[in-house]
Amino acid sequence: MRTILLILSSIFISVFAMAQTGFTGAVLGEDGKPVVNATVAVLKSADSTLIAFGITNDAGRFGISRVPEGAYVLQVACLGYVSYYERITFPAKAGDYGVIVLKQVTFQLPSVEIRGEHIPVIIKKDTVEYNAAAFKTRPDAVAEDLLRKLPGVEVDRAGNIRAMGEDVKNVMVDGKEFFSSDPKVATKNLPADAISKVQVYDKKSESSELAGIEDGSRDKTINLLLKDGKKQAWIGETSAGAGTDDRYALSGKAYRFTRKDQFAALGMLNNINKYGFSFQDYIDFNGGLPAMMSGGSLKLTITSDNEIPVNFGQSVNGLVSSGAGGLNYSFDISKNNRLYASYLGSGSNRTLDQTTLTQNLLPGSTYSENTVSSDHSSNNTHRLNLGWKDKSDSARTILFNANLALAGGRGTSSIHSQSFIGSESFNSMKSDIGDKRIGISGNGSFSYMARGKNLLKLYTLGANTRFTKSLNENDRLNLLRYAGIETPVIDDQFRNLAKNGITVGVFSEFMIRLGSGVYLLPQLRMQGIHDRLDREQGLITDTEQNTDSLSPDFGSNSLQLVPTVKLRWNHGKQKLVPGISLQVAATVNELNDGERLNYNYFRILPSLSWEYEIRTSHRLSVDYSSFVNEPALEIMLPVVDNSNPQALFYGNRELKPETVHELFANWILFDQYSRSSVFARIGSRYTRDKFGYDMSVSDSLVQVSRAINTKSFAEYMANADFSRPVQRMGINLHLSLETRITKGSAVVNDVENRTSGFLRSLKLSFDNVKKEKWDLELGAGLQMNDAKYSIMTSLDNRYLSWNYFADLSITPTDKWNIGFNADIMNYGAGNYSSEINIPLLSAEIGYNFLKNNRAGLKLECFDILDKNKGLERVNELNYIREVRSNNIGRYLMLSFHYRLNKAAGTGNGLELKMKTH
């Protein structure tokens, strides 16, 4: 495979190095002064699509290299000036082009008539605007495919977007939110041919927009402006596919936009392991986080901020049939006064077979656990969102949001595990589990922001609430065998867990002007929290009587008061915001209407934010924050959880809340002239009173864990991303570096196990700049992990993982498109069982037909070599684990798609009529 990649790289470089040349020049105004941020574009005469372009710098200079031989139109454009056009031929125009003089827009130029003018890029103050017509996409492309072609915009293989070196947080359609807060919903579903322009800008906070005072808060935002003809008509697409092994995939999407309202409908149904539309749906499809945890051995999840092992763009483990559908509607009551509502429903069925090998650490020794499990589950979720945003009065803003969710599911599992010391078996357990779950939750928030008078520049008042109610019914038959004991232990139990919670809070914030660029921001937040857990547990008999000692009724009440004061200093390009919060809380938990345990705490929480904007898209910043995490009710419950008799868990009523301190420094640079971007970050996170556990292991290898506060947990991280076009080779270069160090501890058999982790990773990739007919991305990644354990240094684990990847898309004509994808993953052995290679190859070919290519056929083959595997390797505080899962294998699928309201081809090439006198 390495040879293949080298050959592809050589072809890729040589193709773009042949028969290409470039030129430089300067753009001045009639007054002889440099014209800054003018776009200089080389366009195809036939359809005005972009071949190459540059942007003038502060001296008015530009440079364009590696233009293929041929005849083109040179276009120079800038706001406030009449665009300049000239027919040019390369290589005749190579070298120094000279000076181009732009005339003010007030002048009339009867000698030049322009039809269908496509200016690729215009810079309007803080907004970069792209003309979609200047960037050619294939007939069935979506917005994501268009974004990949825009200079300064990057879309990774998972669909995440970066613009001007920063992650894109919002994607708007005609200035309105689109269907979901997940940007990928719009970019993966909206047709590219419906888009007229793409705007990239920094969206300010609501308070900053209202007060007209920069608060340093910004989200990189993309706004997709639709073509006029697409705002009144229905647009969308339907597709249906059938394949080998009874594979199928159906999807449909339809949109309608007018000046007053916006409507969207999405739907999908398949059995090829493709879930719904967003990350949250992924969790909901699986019945929430607990349902995503697997095992027969202990995998303790005692914090709410663990990373979830999901990565969009990678395969989903198991065999999954899923469906989802949603509706979104928004209506403008009046200008800047908008109501919106959306519904999203989803469901899935999954069969998951796994084998798990775990090496557990003890002081001076280890023992292993082998687990084989089979799980069949079905889940469904319904979610309704409502919102109101009223900015019709320029002196105030009203925001209201509410959502309601209903989730349910059921499943059956079979788990067989054995524990060994060396080759000797000490115990085994076979479990058959059935469960049902249903839950309802909701939350709402309301805020009122208004400009004040005199020194009071702005004030905000608001309230929020949330509630949850759920029931999980679980039946479990455990059959346990212990070494030296012939008679097995039978544990046939039922377990019903009901949870209820409600939170109500109010908040206020004021902005008081103290002087020029200096503001005082006092804030006050107060909330009350009530959570309750009622567990009924016992042996399954004819009467199913509860075991009182295992059936607790446990509740917690908390009242929190958080006064905060910040000082904001805005001075030119610098912003400084120091602040301090005092979190005061009174909590009480009660077990079985008996003894109450009171715990009050007081925390001083400082913060600091500093930013220096060197120039547009080039800034430095430092952020320090501190906050408190309160323990969840489940890890405070002192009654044993014995649903797995081999891994018992006790909560702790006396757990202290965690106090977290975070410090990060950032450097962001995007050079619009060279189109280079740098994003670098270095920082640390320190957690005092970290939630952890004290674990003991008996002679029969039964684990007993108790929740405790460990001394501390520290994490240090640094990462850098660099992107730059290499004009002489006609490629874009992308380089990513990351390092992460973690230090924590746990107690195992009364001995502290100090652990440390050290991760280093590197990723390098290349793709071609000109993507008119074909698009190729080649890359490789390398990751090295080190894990060290103080109680068993012989299990210190170092393992190396690397991967190669290649994506090739060829569009020889408007009728045909061909695609190929390769991912080759290598997992080093380290202390795991063996080194593993997983090559995943896929290919497709598509043909478009009917008028304006409204219909199409696509034949695709997934996992050509039939090597797809599910593999996960983790190092935790007290164990090393490898999990192998079943996965979807090779299949062929033939799909038909039909597009609604496909725009007719108009031959929108640039036509120049030159007149001489």
Q: How far apart are CA 866 and CA 891, in angstroms?
A: 9
Q: How far apart are CA 278 and CA 578, in angstroms?
A: 36
pLDDT over threshold 90, residue 370: yes
pLDDT over threshold 70, residue 19: no
Top-confidence residue, 917 or 153: 153
Residue 407 binned pLDDT confidence (cut-offs 50, 70, 90):
very high
pLDDT over threshold 80, residue 130: yes
Residue 573 binned pLDDT confidence (cut-offs 50, 70, 90):
confident
Per-residue pLDDT, averaged over 30-49, amounts to 81
- Of residues 380, 436, 437, the one with CA closest to residue 405: 380
Provide the mean pLDDT of the chain.
82
Q: Give the three-state DSSP class for 192.
A: helix
Q: Could you please report the per-residue DSSP string of 887-901?
A: B---EEEEEEEEEES
Per-residue pLDDT, averaged over 418-437, amounts to 90
Q: How far apart are CA 47 and CA 911, in angstroms?
A: 9
- pLDDT attached to residue 644: 87
- pLDDT attached to residue 21: 63
- pLDDT attached to residue 542: 56
- pLDDT attached to residue 114: 40
Instruction: Report yes or no: 606 and 577 within 8 Å, Cβ to Cβ.
Output: no
By percentage, how much of the chain surpasses pLDDT 90? 37
Per-residue pLDDT, averaged over 769-776, amounts to 81
The conformation of residue 371, written as its DSSP 8-state character, comes to E
Per-residue pLDDT, averaged over 788-797, amounts to 82
pLDDT over threshold 60, residue 764: yes
Top-confidence residue, 673 or 803: 803
pLDDT over threshold 80, residue 456: yes
702: which 2 tokens?
Answer: 């039964």
- pLDDT attached to residue 157: 62
Cα–Cα distances in Å, from 451 out to 371, 388, 577? 62, 20, 21
The pairing of strands 127-131 and 195-204 is: antiparallel
Cα–Cα distances in Å, from 62 out to 76, 134, 580, 672, 768? 11, 20, 48, 11, 21
pLDDT over threshold 90, residue 298: no
- Angle 692-686-612 (CA atoms, 0-180°, nearest 5)? 150
Q: Give the three-state DSSP class for 355.
A: strand
Instruction: Report yes or no: 25 and 96 within 8 Å, Cβ to Cβ.
Output: yes
- pLDDT attached to residue 215: 64
- pLDDT attached to residue 775: 86
- pLDDT attached to residue 303: 31
Residue 901 binned pLDDT confidence (cut-offs 50, 70, 90):
low
- pLDDT attached to residue 424: 85
Q: How far apart are CA 801 and CA 785, in angstroms?
A: 8
Peptide bond into 645 cis (omega under 30): no
Per-residue pLDDT, averaged over 393-421, amounts to 92
Instruction: Report yes or no: 245 and 906 within 8 Å, Cβ to Cβ.
Output: no
Side chain identity, residue 288 = G
Top-confidence residue, 618 or 852: 618
- pLDDT attached to residue 467: 95
Top-confidence residue, 303 or 5: 5
pLDDT over threshold 80, residue 306: no
- pLDDT attached to residue 300: 31
- Of residues 65, 67, 70, 53, the one with CA closest to residue 119: 53
pLDDT in tens, 674-715: 778 888 999 999 999 999 889 898 888 888 999 999 888 999
Lowest mean pLDDT among 100-104, 167-171, 382-386, 798-802: 167-171
Top-confidence residue, 215 or 391: 391
pLDDT over threshold 60, residue 286: no
Top-confidence residue, 735 or 326: 735
Instruction: Report yes or no: 402 and 385 within 8 Å, Cβ to Cβ.
Output: yes
Contacts of 213 (CB under 8 A, 6+ apart): 457, 458, 511, 519, 570
For residue 781, the surrounding DSSP H or E stretch is: strand 774-789
Side chain identity, residue 143 = A
pLDDT over threshold 80, residue 154: no
pLDDT over threshold 70, residue 577: yes
pLDDT in tens, 653-680: 999 999 999 999 999 887 766 778 888 9
Side chain identity, residue 422 = G
Side chain identity, residue 210 = L
Side chain identity, residue 9 = S
Lowest mean pLDDT among 114-118, 269-273, 623-627, 845-849: 114-118
Q: Give the three-state DSSP class for 246.
A: helix
Q: How far apart are CA 879 and CA 888, in angstroms?
A: 29
pLDDT over threshold 80, residue 183: no
Write phi, then psi, for 811 (nearest 5 degrees). Answer: -125, 85
752: which 2 tokens?
Answer: 């502290």
pLDDT over threshold 70, residue 72: yes
Instruction: Report yes or no: 626 and 658 within 8 Å, Cβ to Cβ.
Output: no
Within 10 angstroms of residue 350's Cβ, the number of other Cβ atoms is 23
Instruction: Report yes or no: 56 and 35 within 8 Å, Cβ to Cβ.
Output: yes
Per-residue pLDDT, averaged over 418-436, amounts to 90
- pLDDT attached to residue 618: 84
- Of residues 442, 470, 415, 443, the one with CA closest to residue 288: 470
Cα–Cα distances in Å, from 551 out to 1, 141, 839? 59, 57, 50
Regarding pTM above 0.85, the answer is no
pLDDT over threshold 80, residue 574: yes
The conformation of residue 17, written as its DSSP 8-state character, comes to H
Per-residue pLDDT, averaged over 760-767, amounts to 93
Q: How far apart are CA 520 and CA 513, in angstroms?
A: 6
Q: Could you please report the per-residue DSSP string of 537-553?
A: EEE--SS----GGG--E
Top-confidence residue, 44 or 109: 44
- pLDDT attached to residue 275: 66
Lowest mean pLDDT among 118-132, 153-167, 716-730, 857-871: 153-167
Write phi, then psi, for 152 (nearest 5 degrees). Answer: 90, -5
Instruction: Report yes or no: 367 and 420 within 8 Å, Cβ to Cβ.
Output: yes
Cβ-count burial of 572 within 10 angstroms (0-12 exposed, 13-18 middle, 19+ buried)?
exposed
Q: How far apart are CA 494 and CA 690, in angstroms?
A: 33
pLDDT in tens, 93-128: 777 788 888 888 764 444 343 444 567 777 776 788
Lowest mean pLDDT among 160-169, 250-259, 279-288: 279-288
